Amino acid sequence: MPLINLPNFTDDLLSEFAARSTTRVDTPVIQPAEPFLDIAGEDLRRRIFMTESETGASLCLRPEFTIPVCIRHIETATGTPKRYSYLGEVFRQRREGASEFYQAGIEDLGDINISSADARAIADATGILGRLLPGRRLQVTLGDQAVFEAVVQALGLPLGWQKRLIHAFGNMEQIEALLARLVSPQFVTDLDDDVARLVAADDEAALIAHIDATMEATGYSTNASRSPVEIARRLKEKLILSETRLDDAAFGVLQEFLSLNVPLFNASAALAGFADAAGLKLGNALSRFDGRVAALANAGVDLSTIEYRAAFGRPLDYYTGLVFEIAVEGSQAVLVGGGRFDKLLTFLGAQSRIPAVGFSFWLDRIETERANA
Q: For residue 105, give the nearest of 350, 335, 370 by alpha carbon.
A: 335
Q: Say if residue 66 carries a ligand binding annotation.
A: yes
Q: Say if residue 226 carries a ligand binding annotation.
A: no
What three-state secondary structure class fits 108? Answer: strand
Contact 326, 316 (CB under 8 A): no
Q: Say if residue 102 carries a ligand binding annotation.
A: no
Q: Which residues neighbour 51 within 8 Å (Cβ) at sequence distance 6 or greater?
A: 30, 59, 60, 61
**Length of the chain in terms of residues written:** 373
Q: Say if residue 314 carries a ligand binding annotation.
A: yes
Q: Say if residue 107 carries a ligand binding annotation.
A: yes
* Other C-beta atoms lying within 10 Å of the C-beta of residue 94: 12
Q: Say if residue 92 carries a ligand binding annotation.
A: yes
Contact 235, 197 (CB under 8 A): no
Q: Which residue type is seen at 92?
A: R
Q: Say if residue 308 carries a ligand binding annotation.
A: no
Helix (H) / strand (E) element for 21: namely none
Contact 85, 106 (CB under 8 A): yes
**Angle, CA 308 vertex, CA 67 and CA 16 arms, to 5°:** 50
Check whether the bond before 81 is cis (ω within 30° of 0): yes
Q: Say if residue 164 carries a ligand binding annotation.
A: no
Contact 352, 109 (CB under 8 A): no
Give 262-322 as a DSSP string.
EEHHHHHHHHHHHHHHHT---HHHHHHHHHHHHHHHHTT--GGGEEEETT---S-TT--SE
Q: Say if residue 233 carries a ligand binding annotation.
A: no
Q: Rounded to whole angstroms, how far apart are CA atoms 29 and 175?
A: 35
Q: List binding-site positions for L-histidine.
A: 64-66, 92, 103, 107, 314, 318-319
Q: List binding-site positions.
A: 64-66, 92, 103, 107, 314, 318-319
